[in-house]
């Protein structure tokens, strides 16, 4: 993540323009490391509803996992007894106004200045310092003389810290990192001189010499500069100038699959086609989108841990089973040799006697009647040696037939498990996970789901989309929903889409026998490509046909269908288009 000094400056600049003179109405402390300020700010003119002011919530999170400073409206449960830090803030900041919001140098720290009334009713200044620094994040409250009144995390010199944080001592900003310079004060000659003396790569050079830069920003400057040292200075100074002029853009980066993985205050070019970049309306919207989606994905991963364990165990078991069976199948390739040995012994049995360990026998089936060396068991008679080889031949022939069937079944089961793994990537709620658990239970995995208990699951709700010309498109999130959509919801003359030869969702374009415009065909095919395991950045084949052409074989796994009459479209997966067409 890139909550570096530049991003902090961008967030503070935006909040300063929005929150100056806002008044505190309520204060909450949802968790040990976070504080939520409920604010009321004045409007410049009456809004359509006649309100002169508008409410907002400022979240300051100093936790190690998701430190941030943003306008937010999180869902939380208040502790029954407010923590002491929260009570102290309520005592000193109840009804206070925000009179200033600024960064502390080029660091990931911000100062919130408040004007509040003391016990005697006189106006006095109070300060709240938000240090957004990963595992070193902190929230420190100070009085008018900037002496510490309380902090979320305290430490003293005995803990090994060079910067004690204790009530009663003056607040000191985070010390600059040893040996690092401020990029806002750097000169060209000093930069180029340090670059010539450094043996590090451009990105590592920037990280090691300058404070406030994240690895993402350092890599971006180096990427834009290429191999030239002069160009590195030009790109470095351009970014610094952008920060000085407060020219910021809220940029969110997503993987081709649509999962957010980075954010920044300027466009990011280094990932090329490996990332989808989008602009957000504000930095608060950017931060909340990033952290809320990441938290949602993390919660789903935690809730689906039992399913993942089951799938991983089953896949490992099947892969080992297939490997062993393929070894046995390879050994069966010797069956013709065993039969030939038996034939050679039988044709020349009068030349053999018990006690021989090897014999060179003529091969009458070859043109030149060449001799073949045949190993013999000295304990057996010639006839018994022949029978031994014939039994080996029969055993290998039978094993080859059975192993081919077993390997085919194991591969089919592995393919089915792959579709279940793929459906986990589309799970959006606990109901979706419950559907997957029930599917696995009913598919024969009951013995591996000892803690499973049947629960009533609501009617499946596939994802819904609307094409450009108003046609309804439904997309299943898992195999159970695929079956429900294809065999119960869809009409026989609707159009069915699925990526060719790759696990993915069933997609139905509801047209009731009509011929939709080509654009709507393409959009339905794109939806099928996006919600599948098809690789991003290249065209993929999507089969489509009328629902009446589909057939589900008896005793087949959930989500499995066959068809013989179909067409194929080649489309490029476009998550942004799918998201735009999706009905919220």
CA atoms within 13 A on the CB side of 113: 15
The torsion angles phi and psi of 9, rounded to 5 degrees, stand at -60, -40
Same domain, 66 and 123: yes
Instruction: Give the other-Cβ count within 10 Å of 563's Cβ.
Output: 16
* Rounded Cα gap, residues 206 and 449, in angstroms: 52
Helices 283-303 and 5-19, axial angle in degrees (round to 10): 120
Instruction: Give the other-Cβ count within 10 Å of 441's Cβ.
Output: 16
Secondary structure (3-state) at 172 = coil
Strand pairing report for 540-546 and 123-131 = unpaired
Is residue 399, in this structure, part of any structural domain at all? yes
Same domain, 271 and 354: no
Q: Give the angle subtended at the CA of 269 by the CAs of 268 and 273, to the nearest 5°.
A: 115
More confident residue, 584 or 264: 264
| Mean pLDDT score across all residues of the chain | 87
Strand pairing report for 148-151 and 138-142 = antiparallel
Helices 188-197 and 229-244, axial angle in degrees (round to 10): 140
Same domain, 530 and 481: yes
Asked if residue 314 has pLDDT above 90, the reply is no
CA atoms within 13 A on the CB side of 312: 6
- The pLDDT tens digits of the residues spanning 398-429 come to 988 998 999 999 998 898 888 888 888 788 77
DSSP state of 445: I
Among 103, 160, 96, 169, which Cα is nearest to 131's?
103
- The pLDDT tens digits of the residues spanning 122-168 come to 899 999 999 998 888 999 999 999 999 999 998 876 666 678 899 99
Secondary structure (3-state) at 92 = helix
Type and span of the H or E element at 582: none
Is residue 258, in this structure, part of any structural domain at all? yes
Q: Are 248 and 13 in contact (CB under 8 A)?
A: yes
Whether this prediction's pTM lies above 0.85 is answered by: no
Compute the average pLDDT of residues 373-400. Answer: 90
Among 429, 543, 407, 416, which Cα is nearest to 479's?
416
Q: Which residue has the tokens 């592995």?
A: 414
Is residue 298, in this structure, part of any structural domain at all? no
- The pLDDT tens digits of the residues spanning 322-334 come to 999 988 888 888 8
Among 561, 565, 564, which Cα is nearest to 551's?
561
CA 393 to mean position of chain CA atoms: 52
Asked if residue 357 has pLDDT above 70, the reply is yes
Is residue 434, in this structure, part of any structural domain at all? no
Same domain, 265 and 144: no
Provide the CATH number for the domain around residue 155.
Answer: 2.30.310.10
Secondary structure (3-state) at 145 = coil
Is residue 83, in this structure, part of any structural domain at all? yes
* Rounded Cα gap, residues 209 and 177, in angstroms: 10
Same domain, 46 and 108: yes
Same domain, 225 and 335: no
Same domain, 33 and 154: yes
Is residue 118, in this structure, part of any structural domain at all? yes
- The pLDDT tens digits of the residues spanning 511-557 come to 988 899 999 999 999 999 999 988 877 899 999 999 999 999 988 88
Q: Which residue has the tokens 């000659």?
A: 189
Same domain, 103 and 226: no
Q: Are 129 and 150 in contact (CB under 8 A)?
A: no
Long-range contacts formed by 123-131: CB under 8 A, 24+ apart:
125/99, 126/92, 126/93, 126/96, 127/171, 128/60, 128/89, 128/93, 129/104, 129/171, 130/60, 130/62, 130/69, 131/62, 131/174
Same domain, 356 and 495: no
What local confidence, expressed as pLDDT, does residue 48 receive? 46
Same domain, 187 and 238: yes
Is residue 355, in this structure, part of any structural domain at all? yes
- The pLDDT tens digits of the residues spanning 173-216 come to 988 888 888 999 989 999 989 988 888 889 999 999 999 899 99
More confident residue, 252 or 53: 252
CA 326 to mean position of chain CA atoms: 34
User: Comparing 39-43, 263-267, 475-479, 517-521, which segment has the lowest mean pLDDT?
Assistant: 39-43
Asked if residue 37 has pLDDT above 90, the reply is yes
Residues 6+ apart with CB under 8 A from 401: none
**Overall number of domains in the chain:** 4
* Rounded Cα gap, residues 238 and 231, in angstroms: 10
Same domain, 146 and 202: no
Q: Are 510 and 461 in contact (CB under 8 A)?
A: no
* Rounded Cα gap, residues 23 and 36, in angstroms: 13
Is residue 172, in this structure, part of any structural domain at all? no
Which residue segment(s) compose the domain that 224 sits in? 183-279
* Cα dihedral 562, 566, 572, 573 sign: negative
Same domain, 92 and 198: no
Instruction: Give the other-Cβ count within 10 Å of 89's Cβ.
Output: 26
* Rounded Cα gap, residues 508 and 498, in angstroms: 9
What local confidence, expressed as pLDDT, does residue 237 receive? 92
């Amino acid at each position: 993540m890139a909550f570096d000094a530049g991003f902090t400056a961008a967030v503070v600049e935006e909040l300063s323009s929005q929150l100056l003179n806002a008044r505190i109405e309520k204060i909450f402390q949802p968790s040990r490391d976070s504080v939520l300020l409920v604010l009321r700010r004045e409007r410049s003119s009456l809004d359509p509803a006649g309100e002169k002011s508008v409410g907002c919530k400022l979240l300051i999170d100093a936790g190690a996992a998701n430190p941030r400073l943003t306008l937010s409206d999180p869902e939380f449960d208040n502790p029954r007894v407010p923590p002491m830090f929260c009570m102290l803030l309520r005592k000193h900041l109840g009804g206070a106004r925000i009179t200033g919001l600024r960064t502390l140098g080029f660091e990931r720290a911000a100062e919130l200045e408040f004007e509040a009334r003391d016990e005697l009713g006189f106006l006095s200044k109070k300060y709240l310092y938000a240090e957004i620094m990963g595992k070193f994040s902190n929230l420190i409250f100070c009085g008018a003389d900037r002496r510490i009144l309380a902090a979320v995390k305290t430490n003293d010199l005995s803990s090994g810290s060079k910067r004690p944080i204790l009530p009663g001592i003056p607040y000191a900003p985070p010390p600059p990192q040893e040996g690092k310079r401020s990029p806002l004060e750097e000169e060209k000659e000093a930069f180029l001189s340090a670059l010539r003396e450094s043996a590090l790569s451009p990105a590592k050079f920037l990280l090691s010499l300058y404070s406030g830069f994240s690895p993402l920003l350092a890599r971006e400057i180096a990427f834009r500069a290429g191999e030239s040292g002069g160009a590195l200075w030009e790109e470095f100074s351009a970014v610094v100038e952008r920060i000085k002029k407060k020219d910021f853009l809220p940029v969110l980066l997503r993987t081709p699959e649509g999962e957010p993985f980075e954010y920044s205050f300027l466009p990011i070019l280094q990932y090329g086609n490996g990332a989808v970049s989008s602009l957000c309306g504000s930095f608060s919207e950017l931060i909340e989108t990033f952290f809320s989606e990441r938290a949602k994905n993390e919660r789903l991963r935690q809730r689906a841990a039992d399913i993942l364990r089951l799938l991983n165990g089953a896949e490992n078991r099947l892969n080992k089973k297939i490997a062993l069976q393929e070894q046995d199948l390879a050994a069966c390739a010797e069956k013709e040799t065993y039969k030939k040995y038996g034939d050679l012994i039988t044709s020349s049995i009068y030349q053999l006697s018990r006690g021989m360990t090897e014999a060179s026998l003529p091969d009458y089936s070859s043109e030149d009647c060449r001799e073949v060396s045949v190993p013999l068991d000295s304990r057996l008679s010639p006839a018994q040696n022949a029978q031994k080889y014939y039994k080996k031949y029969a055993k290998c022939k039978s094993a080859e037939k059975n192993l081919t069937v077993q390997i085919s079944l194991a591969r089919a089961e592995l393919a089915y498990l792959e579709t279940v793994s793929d459906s986990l990537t589309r799970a959006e709620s606990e109901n979706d996970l419950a559907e997957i658990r029930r599917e696995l239970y009913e598919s024969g995995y009951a013995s591996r789901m000892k803690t499973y208990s049947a629960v009533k699951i609501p009617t499946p709700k596939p994802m819904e989309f609307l094409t450009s010309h108003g046609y309804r498109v439904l997309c299943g999130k898992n195999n159970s929903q695929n079956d429900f959509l294809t065999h119960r919801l869809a009409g026989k003359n609707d159009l069915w889409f699925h990526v060719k030869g790759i696990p993915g969702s069933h997609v139905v374009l509801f047209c009731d026998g009509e011929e939709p415009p080509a654009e709507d065909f393409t959009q339905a095919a794109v939806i099928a490509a996006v919600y599948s395991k098809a690789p991003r950045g290249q065209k993929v084949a999507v089969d489509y046909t009328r629902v009446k052409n589909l057939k589900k074989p008896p005793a087949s796994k959930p989500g499995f269908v066959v068809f013989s009459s179909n067409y194929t479209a080649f489309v490029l997966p476009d998550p942004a288009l799918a998201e735009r067409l999706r009905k919220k």
